[in-house]
Each structure stands twice: as structure tokens, then as C-alpha cells.
A and B are shown apart, each in its own frame.
Chain A
Amino acid sequence: MKIKTFSMGGIHPNENKLTHEVPTIVAELPKQAIFPLSQHIGAPAKPVVQKGDKVKVGTMIAEAGGFVSAPIFSSVSGTVFKIDTAIDATGYRKPVIIINVEGDEWEESIDRSNKLEVVETHPDLTPEEIVNRIKNAGVVGMGGACFPTFIKLTPPPTAKAECVIINAVECEPYITADYRLMMERSDEILVGLELLMIGAKVTKGYIGIETNKPAAIELLTEKCAKKFNGTKYQVEVVPLKQRYPQGGEKQLVDAVIQRQVPAPPAIPVNVGAIVQNVGTAFAVYEAVMKNKPLFERYTTVTGKKLANPGNFQVRMGTPMIDLINACGGMPEGDNKLLAGGPMMGKALTSVEVPICKGTNSVTIISDEEARRKEPQPCIRCAKCVGVCPMGLEPYLLAKLSEVKNWERAESEDITSCIECGSCHYTCPAHRPLLDNIRQGKATVMGIIRARAAK
């Protein structure tokens, strides 16, 4: 059988999955935890605590700031030190809540046992109840985009969900957090998937995994058969050929059910699919079955020059430097510190940036590895066109952005760019294609919004 993958473009960067077989360890509690109020797409959360307030693990410290937003919970117990600003992953100072850690006292409503809870013993779980609990627990997409999960589960009336696709692709180099989660918490993930299917009122589910994770494919296939055979649910583990950016939502839907999501504003549910990251499925399990809000996650801390790269179960708000020190400390010399992987991760300006809901990896790459080469003139080799997974012409979009021809850039579909960086990765002339396209896309989207507002 031919192994499935998405239908156009794509690249195969070096995997560098250094921490594949490193079992997850629980990270130490930080001395001080920092909670940015904007850890998700949408309106920032609004603080509901004040300086000097005592909080426990799982206490809500900020409520959702609008419909597209999510509440934020403390991951530590202690005292609110201050509500201030601090540098986050964007490089800007943004509003944060800082908590001084004292002990480790949890909210009593949270079930801390390791017992696996299954849907069968909770007959009170209606789809509405599940969606509500997910919303109240502040669960957002854990793959990096951080879109509030409950919104995805309640599609607009014009679209009808047919299946839930679990994104377990992890196509970014270096990152292994999702893989470790699958190997260590597979039962919980499958209950999470079942809850997502109930919440979305569908009976079909898929788990997309790239073939560089054969153990995970085998384990989940076996567990799925055991759990779902003979039930009303049809769940299939879909092995996918290794190719970046397969973890992109549109690429994954294309690879798994061979349906292409049309250009924006269309979203996957317009072709019947609701895509959720495997980490989100786990968070949904904990939120719904254990009453545990989202304040903890699996994160990979990795880099070739790190002494002991590893995978951590970490409380959010922990400064990255704490995790880096647990791996042997920041390597000598100049380095690039990334929230995320090398293809789409953000380079940080401070080692004190905290782990947030979407931080799947802390990746440290050395100066030599990260340094860009001097750009040369475009030789029109068309390799960028060949690797673009959206069927765009990166050389043209970059040029149009450079010369500020926004009208043409819009008609050449610049807004369809998913910023995966495949063109930039591939370019033999080392041209900064994505830098230019990103700028052009932002400008064109601004123009479109302004037009719509008239």
C-alpha cells in the first residue's frame, strides 16, 4: 500500500530527533512562575487576582477576555508577586502575572490520581458538557498555534463536522514531545480523542503519525483496536510519509482524508475535519475527566550542543533557563534560542521567557548552524515553486512584496501562505524569501481588513 502524504510540495529537513528515546521527566518547580496573559490566539486574558493574593495550583488567575480567548490558571501555589510586563516569545514586553512559588498545594477539585477514567463511567457527559469543560479549563491547541479548542468543536452552522483528526505528525525537526506523550500516555490520549469525537458529534476519528515513529504507530494501532472495535466509533491510525510541513492543518487533512481546504477564510471543518493536536487530546482528557485545567504540558528541550537534552513534563510559567539548566546549561558561545523547532520556531531575546500553552519545544541551535548565508541574485531555478505546499510561487510573492505591489500580491494569493518556510529552506541562492513574503502577507491582510471595514 502506498503511504499517504499531502499532495503538493514539501521538503525533508534533517530530523535531529535527539531526544526520541529519552523518557519524560517531571521538571522541578520554578522559584517564580511567569504567566503571559496572551498565550493563545484572540483577546488577551483579564487578570482576576491582585498583588498579594494567595493562589493554589489550578486557581484561575485570568479569565477569558472575549469569545476567542481562554482563561489562564496558575501552575504553582504561592503569592501573586506582581502584575507587570515581561518579554515573551514575540520579543516585546507584554502583560504578565508573576507568582512567587511557595510549596505545592493543589486545588482540591483536581483529581490527582493516576487512575484511567473512561467515558463509560461518566454517563453525564453530554457533548455540550464536554465542550463547556474544555472551554472552562482554558484548553487551546497545543501544537503551537494555540487556537481555543472549544471554538473548533463548535463549527459555524454552514459547516458540518464529519471526523476528528489527531495531529501526531510532529514534522518539525528536533521536537519529540508529542512522540513521548504517545508512548507514555496513549490510553489517556485515546479517551481524549473519544471526548473530542463526542464533543464534535462525530463517530469517525483518525490519528496521523509519520513513519519515523513506528513504535507509536504500532502502539496506538493496537490500543485503538482494543478500545474502539465493536463500538460505534471508527478510529484509524494513519501512517504518513515523512514530509514537512505535514503537521500543517491543511496538509494533514489533505494527507489523511484527501480533501483540500479551500483558500482562507475557509477552515478544515468546511471539508468536514476537526484537527486537534495529540497534546490537545491529552489536555482534553485531563480537563474533562480529571477536572485539571491546562497548566502543565510536555516540552522537549533540545539542541546538539546541550549536554543532556530531554523531554519534560513542565508547569507552565517556568522560565526556559530553568529547563536549560536541567539539561546541563546554556552551551558556550553565541546561540539561537527557539520556542518551537527550527522551521517555524520563534527566536527569543531572553532566556527568561516562560513555557506557555503552546511551547512544544525549547530548541537551542548554535551560531554556525543557524547563520544565514549571504543572499545571491535569484537564478530562477523554480525550486521554491516546487516545494511550496500551497501551490504558490514564492519567488514572485517575495519580489512583489519587495517592490510593494500589494494589488498583484493579493491576486497571486499571498494570503494563502502558511509561512512554513519550505521555500526559504530550499533556496539555493539563500534569498530571504519568507521574510519578504511574511511582510507582504501582513500588509495585504491589513488592506483586506480595511476594505472589509468600509
Chain B
Amino acid sequence: MGKLIVSLSPHAHSRDSVERNMYGVIIALMPALLASFYFFGLGSLVVTTTSVGACCLFEWAINKYILKKKENTLHDGSAIITGLLLAFNLPSNLPVWIVLIGALFAIGVAKMTFGGLGNNIFNPALVGRAALLVAFPAQMTSWPKIGQWGAYLDAETGATPLSIINSAIRQGDVSLLDELPSSMELFLGSTNGGAGAMGEICGLALLFGLAFMLYNRIITWHIPASILGTVFVFAGLLHLSDSVYPDPISALFTGGLMLGAIFMATDYVTSPMTPKGQIIYGIAIGVLTVIIRNWGAYPEGVSFAILIMNAFTPLINNYVKPKRFGETSK
């Protein structure tokens, strides 16, 4: 007879793992990645490969040479996600060296400085994007038009739907909105002159990812639903008050809203821990997004809205508690 093994209960464990969740997110990102290859061709391939490769390299190098950890953390897959999400937020004609700086900010500053996966306060990919937007405003706001297969640095750029909306609001001129692609085109990825960041162009592909993650219980509905619901209602009310504001369907499928609501705001580490907290967080992101988009300096508001709410997450965790069993509602 062998030894008796002794440990505390429970003695059964689920087969869930950090890797299962992280690679699940990566699979969920695949439809959007394919869409970005389809719409932006060569440029998308170069930028994505650089971003993912650089994120992994920086994480590995920082672990090994600066933190001097014996074990490396690349296998958990989180660096790949950061790389993909950073690329999804960039224009497909961004030079390689700028992508590298973005990856260094994302992994080096926003993630590893805080202690790596699980400890960072801000979403690493969004920190990377925000840093680039401040440092390289010109390169970061020239968006290639879709459908240029072989183009990279030489891609022809155009106005994003959000910048069209933004000028319409600023100039108070409703007729400018005629240039907007139709809602259906925004949803599928517009083919006539649409432009934008690589990952945000096809709403349908992102929704596939959402369905996959919900089905596999990688995330819950609370954050995406509260963000999208809030934007829909808020933008709808604005549209009713003045038709210079875009209709709520366009608001949902323009810019990075889908990408942000599905993949960035749901980042485990930087979002609240309780369903109630997640809904508060989602509503706040929705409200901030609409405010920044319509009345702020930038046409795009999702990433800043998420970063701002990332900062509030510890506070939400402190004050928003789940309903305890047997607690009588106050």
C-alpha cells in the first residue's frame, strides 16, 4: 500500500485555468483579426505581428533581466492578448518603431512595473495606445482607408466615421453626416471609403468573439451589456434632441466602442469584482464615452473612458459589495 495523501478540502478541482481563459480570449479575437487582415491587408499583418512579438519579447526580457524571475510568464497568454489588443487600436500604416514604443509602454510601464499579470491598475493595451496618441498625435490619427491590400506605410488615409460625426457636431452642420457609411456597413465593415483602427472595423466579428466568450463563461454579460446599453440610451436621447448627434445604432458601431466594451473593459485585472460593481463601471464607461465623443477634444472616447474607470475600480471594489446571503435589503 502506498502513502496516504493529506490535504484540506476541497479535494476536487475544476479544469479551469488561467491559460484556458487567456487562450479563450485569443480565440475570441480571431474573427476580428481575420477581418482586420481582410480589410487592411499587408499593413495589418505587419503591425499585428510587430505588436504581439514585441509585447511577448518585452515581458520575457523584463522577467528575465530586470525582475530576475526564474519562471517566465509568457505561457499564460496574457502578453499575446495585450499585443493583439494594442494592434487593434492602431492604424494599419503605423511605422514599426512606433509600434515598438507602444508595446514597451503597454508591457513595460503598465503591466510589469506593477508586478505583472493580476497587479496592474490600468489596461496595458490602452495605456500603450494613450501614450502613443499623446506622443505621436499625427501618426495616431491618420487612418488608412480599408480595402488596400498591398499597402502599408503608403496607404491612403481618410476620415473615420467618428471624425465625420465630430466635425458635424462642431460645425453644427447636419449635412456633413451624409458622408457617414450606413449602419449596416458600419456593422459589417464598410466597403466604401470607411477608415479606422484595425480591430474596430467589423462589429460582426467582434460580436462573434463576445458570443464565444459568454458561451465559454470566460466573461459575464454585465460589463459589455451595461456599456452598450448606456451608450445606446444616452446617444439615442441626444439624437432625439438634435439630429446633429448620430443615431444610436451608428454610435454603437462606430469607433472602438464594440472593441472596448467586449475586449478592453472586460479585462479581468482592471475591472470590478462584483456584478453590481461591473454594472456601475459599465454605465460610467458608457456615459463618459458619449461625453468625450460629442463634446471632447478627441473624436474617440472609449479608451479614455475605460482608463478613467480603471482608476476607479479599486474604489468600486471597496464600496460595492455583493448582496450577502440572508441580508435583508436596505
Asked if A335 and B4 sit within 8 Å, CB to CB, the answer is yes
B178 within 8 A of A: no
Tell me if B170 is interfacial: C-beta within 8 Å of chain A.
Answer: no
Rounded to whole Å, the gap between the CB of B303 and the closest CB of chain A is 20
The answer to whether A334 has its CB under 8 Å from any CB of chain B is yes
For residue A118, CB closer than 8 A to chain B, the reply is no
Q: Does A122 contact B (CB under 8 A)?
A: no
Q: Which residues of B contact A379 (CB under 8 A)?
A: 18, 21, 117-118, 268-269
| Residue of B with least CB distance to A347 | B6
A382 with B118, Cβ < 8 A, contacts A335-B5, A336-B11, A428-B17 known: no
Chain B residues whose CB sits within 8 angstroms of the CB of A82 once the complex forms:
none
Of A182-190, A230-238, A290-298, A386-394, which stretch is located at the interface?
A: A386-394
Closest Cβ neighbor of A173 among chain B residues: B12
A15 to chain B, nearest CB (A): 11
Chain B 74-100 interface residues, beta-carbon cutoff 8 Å to A: 76
**Judging by beta carbons under 8 Å apart, are B4 and A428 in contact?**
no
Closest to B3 in A: A334
Q: What residues of B have a CB within 8 angstroms of the CB of A219 in the complex?
A: none
The interface residues of chain A lying within 8 Å CB-to-CB of B17 are 373, 428-430
Of the residues B2, B8, B14, B16, contact of A334 by C-beta under 8 Å: B2
A391, B11: Cβ atoms under 8 Å? no
Interface status of B119 (Cβ within 8 A of chain A): yes
Inter-subunit contact A393/B322 (CB<8 Å)? yes
- With most chain A CB atoms within 10 A of its CB, the pick from B13, B117, B278 is B13
The reply on B64 being an interface residue by CB < 8 A is no
B1, CB-defined interface residue at 8 Å: yes
B-contacting residues, A232-286, CB 8 Å: 250, 254, 260-263, 266
Query: Chain B 209-246, CB within 8 Å of chain A: the 1/0 string?
Result: 00000000000100000000000000000000000000
User: Chain B residues with Cβ under 8 A from A65's Cβ?
Assistant: none
The reply to whether B10 and A377 contact each other, CB–CB distance below 8 Å, is no
Say whether A349 contacts B4, CB under 8 Å.
yes
Instruction: Out of A344, A373, A377, A392, name the residue touching B13 (CB < 8 Å).
Output: A373
Residues of chain A with a CB closer than 8 A to B12's CB: 13-14, 173, 342-343, 365, 369, 425
CA distance A443 to B268 in the complex (A): 31
Knowing A11-B14, A13-B12, say if A382 contacts B268 (CB, 8 Å). Answer: yes
Q: In whole angstroms, how far apart are the Cα atoms of A338 and B5 in the complex?
A: 10
Q: Is B323 within 8 A of A262, CB to CB?
A: no
A333 at the interface (CB under 8 A from B): yes
Contact A424 B10 (CB under 8 A): yes
Q: A344-B9, A370-B11 are in contact. Are A380 and B269 (CB under 8 A)?
A: yes
Known: A377-B117, A379-B118. Is A348-B325 also a contact (CB below 8 A)?
no
B284 at the interface (CB under 8 A from A): no
- In the assembled complex, which residues on chain B have CB atoms less than 8 Å from the CB atom of A391? 322-325, 327
Q: How far is the CB of A423 from chain B (nearest CB, A)?
A: 9
Beta-carbon contact of A372 and B7 below 8 Å: yes
Q: Which residues of chain A from 173 to 217 have any CB-CB distance to chain B below 8 Å in the complex?
A: 173
Q: Mark A418-449, 1 if CB is under 8 A from B, else 0.
A: 01010011111110001100100000000000
Whether A434 lies near B10 (C-beta < 8 A) is yes
Given known A-B contacts A345-B11, A421-B10, A393 and B326 have beta carbons under 8 A apart: no
Q: A421-B9, A425-B12, A426-B16 are in contact. Are A263 and B324 (CB under 8 A)?
A: yes
Residues of A324-369 whose CB lies within 8 A of B:
330, 332-338, 342-351, 365, 367, 369
Give min CB distance, A144 to chain B, whole Å: 11
Known interface pairs A386-B220, A391-B323, A391-B324. Does A425 touch B274 (Cβ–Cβ under 8 Å)?
Answer: no
Q: Nearest-CB distance from B49 to chain A (Å)?
A: 26
B116 in contact (CB, < 8 A): yes
B57 contacts the other chain (CB 8 A)? no
**B interface residues, tally (CB under 8 Å):** 43
Q: Is the CB of B7 within 8 A of A250?
A: no
Known contacts: A391-B327, A416-B325, A430-B13. The answer to whether A336 contacts B118 by CB under 8 A is: no
Who on chain A is nearest to B5 by CB? A336
Chain A residues whose C-beta falls within 8 Å of the C-beta of B274 in the assembled complex: 382, 385, 393
Contact check, A425 vs B14: say whether CB atoms are below 8 A apart.
yes
Question: Cβ of A347: which chain B residues have Cβ within 8 Å of it?
Answer: 4-9, 11
- Are B273 and A395 closer than 8 Å at their CB atoms? yes
Is there an interface contact between A370 and B321, defined as CB atoms closer than 8 Å? no
Across the interface, which residues of B come within 8 angstroms of A7, CB to CB?
325
**Knowing A380-B268, A430-B17 touch, does A413 contact B5 (C-beta < 8 A)?**
no
* B 157-197 binary contact with A (CB < 8 Å = 1; else 0): 00000000000000000000000000000000000000000
B92-125, CB < 8 A from A: 115-119
Q: In the complex, are the beta carbons of A250 and B325 less than 8 A apart?
A: yes
Residues of B near A260 (CB, < 8 A) are 325-327
Q: Do B327 and A393 have beta carbons less than 8 Å apart?
A: no
Answer whether residue A383 sits at the interface, using C-beta atoms and an 8 A cutoff.
yes
B9 and A385 within 8 A (CB): no
- Provide the residues of chain B in CB contact with A392, threshold 8 Å: 322, 324
Fill in one digit per residue for B267-280: 1 if any A CB lies within 8 Å of its CB, else 0: 01101111100100
Name the one of A250, A262, A428, A429 contacting B327, with C-beta atoms under 8 angstroms.
Answer: A262
CB distance from B217 to the nearest CB of A (A): 8
| Distance to closest chain B CB from A304 (angstroms) | 12
Question: A430 vs B15: C-alpha distance in the bound complex, in angstroms?
Answer: 10
Is A22 interfacial (CB-CB < 8 Å)?
no
Bound CA–CA A372/B269 (angstroms): 24
Q: Does A52 contact B (CB under 8 A)?
A: no
Given contacts A379-B117, A380-B268, contact A385 B273 (CB under 8 A): yes
Mask: chain B, 15-46; 1 = CB below 8 Å from A; 0 = not:
01110110000000000000000000000000
What A residues does B327 contact at CB under 8 A? 260, 262-263, 391
CA distance A130 to B161 in the complex (A): 80
Chain A residues closer than 8 Å to B269, beta-carbon distance: 379-380
Which B282-329 residues have C-beta < 8 A from chain A? 317, 321-328
Most central of B14, B76, B272 by chain A CB within 10 Å: B14
Using CB atoms, name the residue of chain B closest to A387: B14
Give CA–CA (A238, B68) in the complex, Å.
59
Identify the interface centre among A254, A260, A379, A391: most chain B CB within 10 Å of its CB: A379
Report how far A429 CA is from B73 CA in the complex, Å.
13
Q: Which listed residue (A8, A396, A416, A428) contacts B18, Cβ 8 A?
A: A428
Return the contact of A342 from the options B10, B16, B76, B328 (Cβ within 8 A): B10
Q: Decide if A50 is an interface residue (CB 8 Å cutoff).
A: no
Q: Is A390 touching B9 in the complex (CB atoms < 8 A)?
A: no
Once bound together, how far apart are the Cα atoms of A260 and B4, in whole Å? 40
Which of B4, B5, B6, B14 is within 8 Å of A426, CB to CB?
Answer: B14
25 A/B residue pairs, CB under 8 Å, sorted by A: A8-B325, A250-B325, A260-B326, A262-B326, A263-B326, A263-B327, A336-B6, A342-B11, A344-B10, A345-B11, A346-B9, A349-B4, A365-B11, A377-B116, A377-B118, A382-B268, A382-B274, A383-B16, A386-B220, A393-B321, A393-B322, A395-B273, A396-B273, A396-B317, A426-B16
**Seed contacts A334-B2, A428-B21; 12 additional CB < 8 Å A-B pairs:** A260-B325, A262-B328, A342-B10, A343-B11, A345-B9, A350-B4, A382-B274, A382-B278, A391-B327, A424-B13, A428-B14, A434-B10
